[in-house]
């Protein structure tokens, strides 16, 4: 891939942060709940720029209005031995409440995917048969409930044919074909908006909701993406290039949101 | 007012449990787990258990010790180490039966048991392999018309997860079994207690009822003695999981645990050093000695 030898003034990881932020454009006053380092940075970038009313979590039990760098634990112990809350919290949102929030629908989650297929069916449960897996992964976690109740996007830090597969081993997150089979009553809150990877941005904005190559990141070719995908993507005409970070966005990412540079642990270039 | 005295020891709790029981374990991942009672189960003859949990090392240790026939979970994770190694091995070798629920479904199962109804409906699970892989999970058709007059909605009917016993760990409790959590999250401990025939609550410290207010607001007094059978005073009882604000997770210890789990010889040594002890007091003494040597924070 022709990626590392050109000095564009920004890294691939930073392009990914911006591409993630773009997933939340238009969400307004909604819980943006990106899981993972680059997703977290991208979500906070969206809130710091074009979606200022997004609600975001501290990764634990609260909604915080502060831009906490990834990995920050906002809970400590006070001199009196009591719990000290070290960030400004908008609301208390412990796990039992989180399920209420997600069934209520005002949420857009970005999850990882160990496997994903052309209709956006996602697997993070296990590899091999579910009855006796070859490799046990995370289990279903919240994926079934998330995908059927509110908007979902995915983050794949390493785009490869092992992740983008013809058929996932286990359906954790529900894709468009499965949602359609449920009929309008079952699928009325289902939306898989985007898949952001280290190579490209993909969506499902096609008549049958098959996965489409929405844009390729600067320095990546369409052929690179096709070679790294284990099924046929919808590719319409000239595929645009993913938007480059603005100087303001780069400054926010580097100095405010991720000063320790943790984004490079997920995407190295 | 006379609050009943429900104090007991971990071993007395275990003496009230039976092989084959369905046991709920509170906490979440590697957070505020009633580990001292789990360690007592490891020292016992109990076997063939069904464990219901948002699982962490509690589930892993019980699987490794051959105590478990079936695990019902939303996940099993060590948080800072995403995959629980013993649970992984148990799944991959097929030595346990697993029911893997969506996280929210598990909560509804506990709520249904707590409210004594056979199931609760939800959209969570529809279209996913949670249902196709586990055909005992059924759907139910709404008796009401869909919004806009379409076909009535079909929803997942999460069956009640009634527990023979629940084990939970609280930061503070009184002798009667009223419990107080002082960290950021109650997890599902309240629902576990309500879903169980008998709940055994371990706590960092037993305090007089009138002192709860000096430790935290009324909102932190989440567990009522109405649903608690026994109270165990267990300082450090959640080790090596976290129990904020009293203590954080012993990450160094957890790392050793996870590393040992992947190698039979290392695991035998870990078991001998940390699990084949006479009592919880011996365990706590060993942890204190390790800390004095600078091995754990």
Residue that the structure tokens 């098959």 belong to = A210
DSSP 8-state secondary structure symbol assigned to residue A253: I
Q: Over 90: is that where the pLDDT of A184 sits?
A: no
**Which pLDDT does position B148 carry in this prediction?**
81
Beta strands B97-100 and B119-122: pairing type?
unpaired
Whether residue B206 contacts residue B173, with contact meaning beta carbons closer than 8 Å, is answered with yes
Residue that the structure tokens 């454009």 belong to = A25
**Which pLDDT does position B296 carry in this prediction?**
57
Q: Which two tokens stand for residue A51?
A: 């979606």
Residues in B touching A152 (Cβ below 8 Å): none
Distance of CA A33 to the CA centre of its chain: 8
**Which pLDDT does position B60 carry in this prediction?**
98
Mean pLDDT of chain B: 97
pLDDT band at B295 (very low <50, low <70, confident <90, very high): low
User: At A245, is the secondary structure helix, strand, or coil?
Assistant: coil
State whether A182 and B126 contact (CB < 8 Å).
yes
DSSP 8-state secondary structure symbol assigned to residue B272: I
For testing contact with chain B, the best of A98, A139, A186 (most B CBs within 10 A): A139
Q: Which two tokens stand for residue B167?
A: 């084990």
**Which pLDDT does position A104 carry in this prediction?**
97
Q: Does B211 touch chain A if contact means CB atoms closer than 8 Å?
A: no
**Which pLDDT does position A47 carry in this prediction?**
97
Q: Does B133 touch chain A if contact means CB atoms closer than 8 Å?
A: yes
Q: In chain A, pLDDT over 90 holds for what percent of residues?
A: 92
**Which pLDDT does position B146 carry in this prediction?**
84
What is chain B's alpha carbon radius of gyration, rounded to the nearest angstrom?
A: 20
Q: Measured between alpha carbons, how far is B17 from B54 in angstroms, rounded to an integer? A: 21
Cβ neighbours for B115, distance < 8 A, ≥ 6 positions apart: none
Residues in B touching A182 (Cβ below 8 Å): 126-127, 154
| Strand residues in chain B grouped as ranges (E) | 22-25, 49-55, 68-76, 97-100, 119-122, 138-141, 154-159, 163-173, 179-180, 196-206, 230-233
pTM, whole model, 2 decimals?
0.96
- Average of pLDDT values for B164-191? 98
Task: Tell me the sheet residues that pair with B119.
Answer: B159
Whether residue B209 contacts residue B147, with contact meaning beta carbons closer than 8 Å, is answered with no
User: At B289, is the secondary structure helix, strand, or coil?
Assistant: helix
Task: Tell me the sheet residues that pair with A152.
Answer: A109, A192
Q: What angle do CA B114, B115, B116 make, to 5 degrees?
A: 95
**Upstream peptide bond of B240 is cis (omega within 30 degrees of 0):** yes
pLDDT in tens, B207-228: 999 999 999 999 999 999 999 9
pLDDT band at A174 (very low <50, low <70, confident <90, very high): very high
A12-265: CATH topology is Glutaconate Coenzyme A-transferase (3.40.1080)
What are the start-end ranges of the H helices in A67-175? 95-104, 143-149
Q: Over 80: is that where the pLDDT of A5 sits?
A: no
Residues in A touching B94 (Cβ below 8 Å): 131-132
Q: Is B275 exposed, middle or buried (0-12, 13-18, 19+ CB in 10 A)?
A: middle
pLDDT in tens, B18-57: 999 999 999 999 999 999 999 999 999 999 999 999 999 9
Q: Measured between alpha carbons, how far is A191 from A147 in angstroms, rounded to an integer? A: 7
- Average of pLDDT values for B264-280? 97
pLDDT in tens, B83-114: 999 999 999 999 999 999 999 999 999 999 99
Q: Is B125 exposed, middle or buried (0-12, 13-18, 19+ CB in 10 A)?
A: buried
Q: Over 50: is that where the pLDDT of B188 sits?
A: yes
Residues in B touching A140 (Cβ below 8 Å): 74-75, 100-103, 128, 130
Å from A4 to nearest chain B CA? 31
Q: Does B235 touch chain A if contact means CB atoms closer than 8 Å?
A: no
Residues in A touching B129 (Cβ below 8 Å): 125, 130, 170-172
Residue A197 CB neighbour total at 10 angstroms: 26
**Which residues 76-95 of B are in CB contact (within 8 Å) with A?**
76-77, 82-83, 87-88, 91-94
pLDDT in tens, A36-72: 999 999 999 999 999 999 999 999 999 999 988 888 8
**Which pLDDT does position B147 carry in this prediction?**
81
Closest to A139 (Cβ–Cβ): which among B75, B151, B153?
B75
Q: Measured between alpha carbons, how far is A155 from A264 in angstroms, rounded to an integer? A: 15
**Which pLDDT does position A2 carry in this prediction?**
41
**Which pLDDT does position B115 carry in this prediction?**
98
Q: Measured between alpha carbons, how far is A256 from A253 in angstroms, rounded to an integer? A: 6
Name the strand (E) or helix (H) holding B232: strand B230-233
State whether B74 and A147 contact (CB < 8 Å).
no
Å from A39 to nearest chain B CA? 17
Closest to A140 (Cβ–Cβ): which among B92, B100, B187?
B100
Q: Over 90: is that where the pLDDT of A166 sits?
A: yes
**Which residues 187-226 of A are in CB contact (within 8 Å) with B?**
187, 189
**Which pLDDT does position A122 carry in this prediction?**
98
**Which pLDDT does position A68 carry in this prediction?**
85
Å from A102 to nearest chain B CA? 9
Could you write out the DSSP letters of every residue in B31-100? BS--HHHHHHHHTS---SEEEEEEESHHHHHHHHTT-EEEEEEEEE--SSSSS-HHHHHHHHHT-SEEEE
pLDDT in tens, A197-247: 999 999 999 999 999 999 999 999 999 999 999 999 999 999 999 999 999
Cβ neighbours for B216, distance < 8 A, ≥ 6 positions apart: A82, A83, B172, B180, B182
User: At A126, is the secondary structure helix, strand, or coil?
Assistant: strand
Angle of the B35-42 helix axis to the B280-292 helix axis, nearest 10: 120
Q: Measured between alpha carbons, how far is B47 from B17 in angstroms, rounded to an integer? A: 10
**Which pLDDT does position A4 carry in this prediction?**
47
pLDDT band at A1 (very low <50, low <70, confident <90, very high): very low
Residues in B touching A147 (Cβ below 8 Å): 127-128
């Amino acid at each position: 891939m022709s990626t590392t030898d050109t000095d564009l003034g920004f890294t691939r990881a930073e392009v990914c942060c911006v591409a993630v932020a773009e997933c939340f454009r238009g969400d307004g006053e909604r819980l943006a709940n990106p899981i993972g380092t680059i997703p977290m940075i991208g979500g906070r970038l969206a809130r710091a720029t074009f979606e200022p009313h997004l609600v975001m979590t501290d990764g634990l039990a609260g909604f915080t209005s502060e831009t906490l760098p990834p990995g920050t634990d906002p809970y400590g112990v006070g001199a009196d031995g009591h719990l000290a809350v070290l960030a400004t919290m908008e609301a208390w949102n412990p796990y039992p409440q989180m399920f209420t929030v997600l069934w209520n629908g005002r949420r857009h989650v970005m999850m990882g995917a160990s496997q994903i297929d052309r209709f956006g069916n996602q697997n993070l449960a296990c590899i091999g048969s579910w009855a006796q897996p070859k490799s046990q992964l995370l289990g279903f976690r919240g994926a079934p409930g998330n995908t059927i109740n509110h908007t979902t996007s995915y983050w794949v830090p390493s785009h490869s044919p092992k992740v983008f597969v013809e058929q996932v081993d286990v359906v954790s997150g529900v894709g468009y074909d499965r949602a359609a089979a449920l009929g309008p009553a079952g699928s009325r809150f289902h939306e898989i908006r985007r898949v952001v990877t280290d190579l490209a941005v993909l969506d499902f904005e096609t008549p049958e909701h098959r996965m489409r190559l929405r844009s390729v990141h600067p320095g990546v070719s369409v052929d690179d993406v096709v070679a790294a995908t284990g099924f046929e993507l919808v590719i319409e005409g000239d595929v645009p290039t993913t938007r480059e970070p603005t100087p303001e966005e780069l400054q926010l990412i580097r100095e405010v949101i991720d000063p320790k540079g943790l984004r490079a642990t997920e995407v190295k270039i | 007012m006379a609050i009943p005295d429900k104090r007991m020891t971990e071993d007395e709790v275990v003496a009230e449990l039976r092989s084959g029981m369905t046991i709920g374990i509170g906490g979440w991942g590697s957070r505020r787990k009633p580990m001292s009672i789990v360690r007592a189960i490891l020292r016992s003859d109990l076997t063939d258990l069904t464990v219901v949990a948002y699982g962490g090392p509690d589930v892993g240790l019980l699987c490794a010790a051959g105590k478990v026939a079936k695990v019902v979970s939303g996940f099993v994770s060590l948080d800072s180490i995403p995959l629980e190694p013993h649970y992984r091995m148990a799944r991959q070798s097929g030595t346990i039966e697993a029911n893997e629920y969506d996280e929210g479904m598990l909560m509804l199962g506990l709520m249904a048991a707590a409210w004594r109804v056979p199931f609760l409906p939800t959209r969570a699970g529809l279209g996913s392999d949670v249902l196709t892989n586990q055909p005992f999970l059924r759907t139910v058709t709404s008796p009401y018309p869909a919004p806009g007059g379409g076909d009535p909605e079909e929803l997942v009917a999460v069956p009640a997860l009634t527990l023979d016993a629940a084990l939970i760990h609280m930061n503070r409790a009184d002798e009667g079994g009223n419990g107080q959590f002082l960290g950021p999250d109650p997890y599902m401990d309240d629902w576990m207690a309500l879903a169980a025939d008998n709940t055994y609550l371990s706590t960092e410290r037993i305090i007089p009822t009138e002192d709860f207010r000096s430790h935290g607001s009324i909102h932190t007094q989440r567990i009522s003695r109405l649903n608690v059978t026994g109270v165990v005073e267990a300082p450090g009882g959640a080790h090596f999981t976290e129990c904020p604000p009293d203590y954080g997770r012993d990450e160094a210890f957890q790392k050793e645990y996870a590393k040992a789990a992947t190698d039979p010889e290392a695991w035998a040594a870990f078991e001998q050093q940390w699990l084949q002890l006479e009592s919880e007091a011996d365990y706590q003494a060993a942890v204190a000695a390790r800390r004095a040597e600078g091995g754990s924070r």
